[in-house]
Amino acid sequence: MFGIVIFFHSHYNMLTKTNKMKVKIMQRSVYHKYAEIEVEVPNDIKDEDVFDYLTDNSQIYEYEMDSAINEAKYDFGNGENEYEGMDEGTESEWRFEVVGKNYGGHL
């Protein structure tokens, strides 16, 4: 019981001496980067085979994309609603789009 009395007494003295308490303020801000590059693929590839070609030949775009994303500026927000076809809740995603056609998907 004596220890409890000392704790309350000490706590009371601390509040009356400064008459202030500390409060933490926190903020979490989300930023994202976005980059696009264009690569050439052979003309004889069917649209439905472009995904396989790109995954089998990722060396034709990985270095260039890494450079582009490193140079991209940070934009506020997660970017999910700013770019067509992006999924909600993903931390990173890659997409492809066949230029001039309405065909593409996730890599």
Check whether 9 has a pLDDT greater than 70.
Answer: no
Helix (H, G, I), strand (E, B) or coil at 74: coil
Residue 96 burial (CB count, 10 A): 19
CA distances from 50 to 10, 46, 65, 86 (A): 72, 7, 18, 19
Q: What is the pTM of this model?
A: 0.68
Domain coordinates in residue numbering, the chain: 28-106
Nearest-angstrom CA–CA distance, 46 and 53: 10
In this prediction, residue 3 carries a pLDDT of: 47
**Lowest-pLDDT choice from 20-24, 79-83, 94-98:** 79-83
Nearest-angstrom CA–CA distance, 93 and 10: 55
pLDDT tens, position by position, 62-80? 999 999 999 999 999 888 7
Sign of the Cα torsion 53, 55, 57, 61 reads: positive
Give residue for tokens 């999910």.
80
Question: Which structure tokens are listed for 93?
Answer: 């995603």
**Lowest-pLDDT choice from 3-17, 45-59, 71-85:** 3-17
